[in-house]
Amino acid sequence: MTQNRRFGRFAVAAAALVVLPLAACGDDNGESSGGDTAAADSPLADADLSGVSLSVGSKDFDEQLILGNMLADAFEAAGADVDRKINLGGTNVARAALLSGEIDSYAEYNGTGWTEHLKQEDPSSDGEELTEKVRQMDLEKNDIVWVGRAPFNNTYGFATGPDLTEKNGGAFDFDSMATYLKKNPDAKVCMESEFPSRSDGLVLFEEATGYTIPKSQQEIQDTGIIYTETQKGNCDFGEVFTTDGRISELDLSVVDDGGAMIIYNISINVRKDVYDEAPEAFDTIADAVLGSLDQETMTALNEQVSAEGEDPADVAKQHLVDTGLIDG
């Protein structure tokens, strides 16, 4: 399977709604911002990264800009000297930077690790099991440690606009979506150009439901347009990314996939030589930071950036303050 879905899709999509500051914040690339301290009763107060120097990167879309800054803030609060290299580029760029030592850490998705980096097929539908398999294989092959796992799942999905959701009496699931498409041959399913041919895309819906969406019902659009056109009802169903902030902003309803789509939970990737300097501290930070990021929370954080135009660095820091991990 290939996994290119993390190649700047939010960055492109966000451009349709707002213009974000390039590189997300003034200190996203290069110098440590400094000044972050762990709250007295925070788990980060027990995580000692004093004497550890590391570079933290991220990919180039909103969620990753938030996560990269959040990790950098947490590492600094634990005493590390952090060089921020946020907004590096797409998945391949970030991964190459990690493997080469250009960066020492960034946030990566277990589904991406399994299908793209490790070139494996048939990923587990259990997030914990998938992460453990990726963790073992990537450590053995590449000396990359996968630390922790966030509960949120940023996978592919479909959504409906408020009018169709109301007409249906609530959110669709995959089976009722297939039934609707069978009964309404003029219905439109709006998707990005690569989604119909991806092994982690449309085929998973078709395998789960037994319904093959004909070309006459497929409409190819840019990501940002799909969200607004679905909200307006011009697309009966629109392909979405399930933690995208525009889902709630536009009052879209996600179609329940019943576990058919591949899981994409976040872990902190750290080069083994760096991780081994303070393994307990990295584990503590991962548990504290990633544990605070459930589906609702990550979606809300993304919404602040993609829909409201907030700075990802500010959003990341405020989340750590609000959850009591660092001082305000």
What pLDDT shows up at residue 29? 52
Q: What is the mean pLDDT of residues 126-147?
A: 98
The proportion of the chain whose per-residue pLDDT surpasses 90, expressed as a percent, equals: 79
Residue pair 269/107 in contact (Cβ under 8 Å)? The answer is: yes
| Buried/exposed 66-98: b ≥16 CB within 10 Å, e otherwise | bbbbbbbbbbbbbbbebbbbbbbbbbebbbebb
Q: What is the mean pLDDT of residues 167-192?
A: 98
Residue 4 banded pLDDT, cuts 50, 70, 90: very low
Beta strand pairing call for 266-271 and 253-254 = unpaired
Distance (Å) of CA 151 to CA 52, 168, 293, 312: 28, 29, 6, 20
* Mean of the per-residue pLDDT values of the chain: 89
Q: What is the mean pLDDT of residues 273-294?
A: 98
| Buried/exposed 223-239: b ≥16 CB within 10 Å, e otherwise | bbbbbbbbbeebbbbbb
Beta strand pairing call for 105-109 and 189-191 = unpaired
What pLDDT shows up at residue 224? 80
Q: Using a cut of 0.85, tell me whether the model's pTM lies above it.
A: no
Residue pair 201/195 in contact (Cβ under 8 Å)? The answer is: yes
Give the rounded distance of the alpha carbon of 21 from its chain centre.
Answer: 20
Residue pair 19/70 in contact (Cβ under 8 Å)? The answer is: no
What pLDDT shows up at residue 35? 54
Residue 12 banded pLDDT, cuts 50, 70, 90: very low
Q: What is the mean pLDDT of residues 304-309?
A: 92
Give the whole-angstrom CA distance, residue 147 versus residue 287: 8
pLDDT in tens, 38-52: 777 888 999 999 999
**Strand runs (DSSP E) across the chain, as ranges?**
29-30, 53-59, 81-89, 105-109, 144-147, 156-160, 189-191, 218-220, 237-241, 253-254, 266-271
Q: Residue 263 phi/psi, 5° resolution?
A: -80, 140
What pLDDT shows up at residue 269? 98
Q: Looking at the predicted structure, is the pLDDT value of residue 180 above 50? A: yes
pLDDT in tens, 227-245: 999 999 999 999 999 999 9
Give the whole-angstrom CA distance, residue 151 versus residue 266: 8
Structurally, what CATH architecture does the domain formed by 156-254 represent?
A: 3-Layer(aba) Sandwich (3.40)
What pLDDT shows up at residue 18? 36
What pLDDT shows up at residue 3? 37
Q: Looking at the predicted structure, is the pLDDT value of residue 161 above 60? A: yes
Q: What is the mean pLDDT of residues 240-268?
A: 95
Does the domain at 9-153+266-322 match CATH 3.40.50.620? Answer given as no
9-153+266-322 shares its CATH topology with 156-254: yes
Q: Estimate the crossing angle of helix 295-306 against helix 62-77, to 10 degrees.
A: 110
Least confident window among 22-36, 71-85, 256-270, 291-305: 22-36
For the chain, domain boundaries: 9-153+266-322, 156-254
